[in-house]
Chain A
Amino acid sequence: MAPITVVTGRALPLRGNELDTDRIMPARFLKAVTFDGLEKHVFEDDRKDNPSHPFNNAAYQGASLLVVNENFGCGSSREHAPQGLLRWGIKAIVGESFSEIFRGNSSVLGVPCFTAAKADIEKLQAHIEQHPDVVVTADLSTGRITAGDVTVQGALPAGVRDAFLTDKWNPTAMLLADYDDVKATAARLPYVAGF
């Protein structure tokens, strides 16, 4: 695991509020014992329904950043949704707001979810639609997101930001450190001790 300080690459603007995790990864693709191949099914039903869906657009293939609107990733806790996006190539997401579970799942996978003001998201989406080749940079230490001559201020929760900057974004090793403290906490809980 390495620190993540900057995410740079082309970006995919995906308009719409309340894009839930059933839309990102329909349930039938959860019928497997691995996450392999999920990148093929990202937004599958939306893409079939709408040939001009941004994920179908040749100009956005190979994008590393996703720019979304409100409450992205709401609904089911399925990690298959951010796993699919990550495997498709998405390394950071910028949006007006996110569901908590989706944002947490993404963070643990090393995909920071920046929030930014509605007007700024609109600016970014419009700019990327006009210039699909523009290189977008999301800087974790400053929270700034730059697309050509458009720069907006994004935000990450301070703890999450510091975790990315210091390579502590995948917490298992930290959770297992000084494990006697965990045992002591458990032992103090009446129900663990059998009342």
Chain B
Amino acid sequence: MTGAPVLNFQRLLPDKVALITGSGSGQGRAAAQLFADHGARVVVVDINDEGAAETVQLLEEHGGEGMAVHADVSSRPDVDRMVAAAVERYGRLDVLYNNAAVQMSGRLVDCTEEDWDLTIATNLSAIFWACRAALPHLLEDGGGSIINTASTLGLIGSEGYAAYGAAKAGLVLLTKQLAVEYGPAVRANVIAPGSIDTPRFRKVLEKTPGAEQFVDGLRRTIPVGRLGRAEDVAAIALFLASDQSAYVSGAVVPADGGLAALR
């Protein structure tokens, strides 16, 4: 899987070190593979060791280089450790891609305090912690890029995603703040995925009655006429990670097949 058909005649991340959280599956894994194909050494962080090991194996099979690091990003010490592990192994850090997240659904009035705290910790505070830990390295090496994964649900009002939507919307503002505060040395951007056909998405579908019909209906609302693929998102992440996007900072890039244009 050499990823998306963008500019891959050229290696866009030669010698860069990229840390990607949640890269043991889905979008994070696709990005890890694509980044490695483009010459980056990839720090594959996940709470799921098996997934992370598999990702490293996949990129090594392609001649890439990477290492797996176990971390639960909802734990602040874990987040500090993952950044330290990256710098210890590779001596630098160029790209921080905060992709891991939890997704719990439920109306605001039904959301428990526990679910709220976990969602805010994993999807918002974790990114703050990771940036705080990584920034000194990104600043030192110059040309650093932070990529944070929000969601369409962080851009629009929806129903049934109280804590998730709030965390993702907060993340958009946090990212803009990073762009303003740490430019010119560091750029920071948001990817806002719509409906991406990843293992997570499949898991949600399993619990959805009439899943096939639901997906058909969904497809019809998406201007490009299909669900997204993890590789579609990885292509955007590659652009944002590389110097190709040297003049892009504080941006929110939808990965949603045109869905945002409807909203």
A binds B: no
Report which A residues bind B (CB closer than 8 A). none
